């Protein structure tokens, strides 16, 4: 059985992700194992994930993934190079044959050409020349590549793709890269055209959901009304098309049909005189067409929980800001990963003079220090991720969820882990793969693996922060879907 790997955040899982999974089965056949490595409760953007690891796992398993694995917290919130490098290492560790990824450039030979070019001294000289002129690293990359007729390569998914391929080459991994071209939407798009029917980026969807949270997190309303409105809308839609028993069908799944006409983009400010439930319904109606049914259901429940518990993205960031501000002003943080003396001085100075997180980011940003890097450093400080623990090794793999096919593959790995098989000629070495968190804690020899102990502490810091800020306790066991 061919084993296909994906690296993703699924924050949230949208139609583009579903398209990728369906294309994998179309290209490689239905009888493939699809394994995804996802970031958990904290993401590479330097934020707490809109959906937690368990919500993302539920969505993944409900949309065609067989096995869900977590990228360790201390790697998941770092830059694109580290994020990609360690996720690909995990896929290879799991014995995956092919890593599939989306990219703006569909010709893998073009990306291979860029990788070769980036090794050359003349390219490095041009890159440095542009950076000395005051350009950012990404802008300098784009300008340098343009001189080699490779303009347009520096885009978010291409950058990740290059890092996946670089890791495969540098570490001589057995896994093979394969591109499925990203359809229509841009990775960081904030707006979509009114005629867009199926695809929108996770960034757009998160922004729209955050608008709902920011607008309504202080209000009380009946989510059951919204659900009923959605059900009635779908019933009417199905009935108009001659579908019998529409109410029974819709009760099982209250998502809209993908091709249903959605009204023009809704501006929350224009709905001030409309009842709260209707306003939220209209916003959900607007974004729903970009989401698979399972994912929409999970997002709906998450949104209900967050609003009823008065959570919004900005409030969460302000809570984090308070904790980190205290740590920066009272503790020594030079041992934290990605901190330099220059960055420390800038962060410390702006922290003293900033009352709000958004003000702090605005004051800290410079030509050589992007907001996203600052936000990642803030999480490093919050979670106490130290430079000397970042050895870029895979000490363990945590399984978040699996279906029957995924379970069978885990059994295969376990069989090959048996002592009597260690000296046999097979494709496996002993794997530290766990389905229960407590087993991970017990697995390390802390006397000789100091970094392992520090990594476990960071993971548990993440559990604690999630509980303190969101009131959610960490689960110990994976999600199992054997239907």
Give 194-248 pLDDT, tens digit per residue.
Answer: 545 678 889 999 999 988 888 776 666 566 666 666 656 655 544 454 444 433 4
Express each pLDDT in 150-180 by its tens digit: 988 888 889 999 999 999 999 999 999 999 9
| 423-430 long-range Cβ contacts below 8 angstroms, 24+ apart | 427/95, 428/95
Judge whether 182 is annotated as a binding position: yes
Task: Give the pLDDT confidence score for residue 259 in this predicted structure.
Answer: 36
Question: Which residue intervals of the chain bear CATH 3.40.50.620?
Answer: 1-104+155-184+391-482
pLDDT at residue number 189: 53
What was the pLDDT predicted at 254? 32
Q: Is 13 annotated as a binding residue?
A: yes
pLDDT at position 409, please? Answer: 96
- Tell whether 9 is in a known binding site: yes
User: Was 279 annotated as part of a binding site?
Assistant: no
Report residues of the chain scoring pLDDT below 50. Answer: 185, 187, 193, 195, 237-239, 241-268, 270-274, 419-428
User: Could you report the per-residue pLDDT of 439-483, keeping only the tens digit for each?
Assistant: 999 886 555 567 899 999 999 999 999 999 999 999 999 999 987
Question: For position 243, what pLDDT does the model report?
Answer: 40
| 10 labeled binding residue | yes
1-104+155-184+391-482 CATH fold: Rossmann fold (3.40.50)
Closest Cα partner for 435 from 445, 446, 443? 443
Phi, psi of 6 (to 5 degrees): -130, 145
Paired tokens of 400: 């978040």
* Structure confidence at residue 212 (pLDDT): 84
The pLDDT, as a whole number, for residue 345 is 93
Q: Is 204 annotated among the ligand-binding residues?
A: no
216 is in an annotated binding site: no
Residue 369 has what pLDDT? Answer: 87
Question: Is 426 known as a binding-site position?
Answer: no
pLDDT in the model for residue 197: 63
14 labelled ligand-binding? yes
Residue 16 marked ligand-binding = yes
Distance, in Å, from the CA atom of 399 to the CA atom of 437, rounded to the nearest integer, reads 9
Q: Please tell me whether 17 is known to bind a ligand.
A: yes
CB 402 within 8 A of CB 480: yes
The whole-number pLDDT of residue 152 equals: 82
**pTM to 2 decimals?**
0.85
């Amino acid at each position: 059985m061919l084993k296909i790997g994906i690296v993703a955040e699924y924050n949230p899982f949208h139609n583009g992700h579903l398209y990728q999974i369906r294309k994998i089965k179309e290209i490689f056949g239905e009888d493939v194992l699809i394994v995804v490595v996802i970031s958990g409760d904290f993401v590479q953007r330097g934020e707490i994930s809109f959906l937690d690891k368990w919500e993302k796992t539920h969505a993944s398993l409900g949309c065609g993934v067989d096995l869900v694995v977590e990228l360790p917290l201390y790697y998941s919130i770092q830059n694109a190079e580290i994020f990609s490098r360690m996720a690909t290492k995990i896929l290879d560790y799991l014995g995956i044959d092919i890593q599939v990824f989306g990219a703006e450039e569909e010709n893998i030979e073009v990306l291979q050409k860029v990788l070769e070019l980036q090794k050359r001294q003349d390219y490095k000289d041009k890159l440095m020349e542009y950076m000395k002129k005051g350009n950012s690293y990404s802008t300098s990359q784009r300008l340098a590549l343009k001189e080699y007729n490779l303009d347009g390569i520096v885009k978010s998914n291409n950058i990740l793709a290059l890092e996946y391929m670089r890791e495969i080459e540098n570490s001589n991994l057995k896994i093979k890269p394969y591109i499925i071209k990203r359809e229509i939407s841009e990775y960081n798009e904030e707006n979509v055209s009114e005629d867009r029917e199926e695809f929108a980026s996770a960034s757009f969807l998160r922004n729209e959901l955050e608008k709902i949270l920011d607008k309504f997190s202080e209000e009380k309303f009946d989510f059951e009304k919204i659900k009923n409105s959605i059900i009635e809308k779908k019933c009417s839609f199905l009935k108009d098309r001659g579908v019998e028993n529409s109410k029974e069908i819709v009760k099982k799944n209250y998502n809209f049909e993908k091709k249903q006409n959605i009204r023009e983009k809704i501006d929350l400010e224009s709905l001030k005189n409309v009842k709260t439930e209707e306003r939220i319904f209209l916003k959900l109606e607007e974004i729903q067409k970009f989401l698979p049914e399972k994912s929409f259901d999970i997002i709906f429940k998450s949104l209900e929980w967050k609003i009823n518990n008065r959570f919004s993205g900005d409030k969460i960031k302000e809570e984090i800001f308070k904790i980190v501000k205290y740590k920066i002003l009272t503790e020594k943080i030079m041992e934290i990963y990605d901190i330099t003396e220059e960055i420390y001085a800038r962060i410390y100075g702006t922290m003293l003079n900033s009352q709000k997180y958004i003000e702090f980011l605005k004051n800290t940003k410079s030509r050589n220090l992007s907001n996203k890097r600052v936000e990642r450093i803030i999480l490093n400080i919050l979670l106490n991720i130290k430079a000397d623990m970042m050895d870029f090794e895979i000490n363990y793999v945590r399984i978040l969820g699996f279906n029957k096919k995924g379970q069978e593959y885990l059994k295969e790995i376990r069989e090959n882990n048996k002592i009597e098989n260690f000296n046999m000629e097979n494709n496996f070495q002993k794997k530290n793969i766990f389905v229960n968190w407590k087993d991970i804690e017990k697995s390390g020899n802390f006397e000789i693996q100091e970094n392992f102990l520090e990594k476990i502490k960071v993971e548990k810091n993440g559990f604690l922060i999630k509980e303190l800020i969101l009131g959610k306790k960490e689960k110990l066991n994976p999600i199992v879907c054997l239907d």
